[in-house]
Structure 1
Amino acid sequence: MIYKVYYQKTKDRNPKREQTLSLYIEADNEERVHDLMRENTPFNVEYIQLLEGNHLTYEQENADFKLTEF
């Protein structure tokens, strides 16, 4: 399954919508995504969204779509 992770680059500041970034991860479940992010990044994860069906197709057509591998 493919997940879109919304995050802030640092945990030191309060989250600001204007500074929210995103990346895409393939994992078996949402818990595994949390584990991967915690083990491999210093990021503050805001939200993890499962992408499937038309939503996944739409995201894949975006020029910025690239699966992140750790």
Structure 2
Amino acid sequence: MIFKVFYQEDQSEIPVRERTKSLFIEAETEREVRNKLVDRKLNIEFIQKLDDAHLEYEKQSGNFVLETA
């Protein structure tokens, strides 16, 4: 499964929409996503599991890069 992770780069930063970034990562569960990203010290706002249609949309957007963790 592919997940989209919305995050802030600084853990102490209050989530502000304009500074929210996202990444894509492959994992079986949301917990596995969090475990893969724990060493990056990100302030994770939301983790979204992508269905097939959403994944295709993200791939066509030009911003899709699958992280390897």
RMSD of aligned alpha carbons: 0.9
Higher mean alpha-carbon deviation, 24-33 vs 10-19, is at 10-19
Q: Deviations over 1:27-70 (max 9, x none)?
A: 011110011111x3111000000001211110111111010112
Residues of 2 paired with 1:15 and 1:36: CA distance? 21
User: What is the percentage of aligned positions where both structures have the same residue?
Assistant: 41
Is the CA contact (8 Å cut-off) linking 2:13 and 2:43 kept in structure 1?
A: no
TM-score when normalising by structure 1: 0.92
Q: Which runs of 5+ in 2 are unaligned?
A: none
Which residue does the alignment assign to 1:56?
A: 55
What residue identity is the alignment partner of 1:4? K
What residue identity is the alignment partner of 2:30? E
Residues of 1 paired with 2:52 and 2:68: CA distance? 22
Q: Give, in angstroms, the shift of residue 19 of structure 1.
A: 0.4
Residues of 2 paired with 1:2 and 1:8: CA distance? 20
Matches for 1:18-57 after TM superposition, within 5 Å: 18-38=18-38, 40-57=39-56
TM-score when normalising by structure 2: 0.93
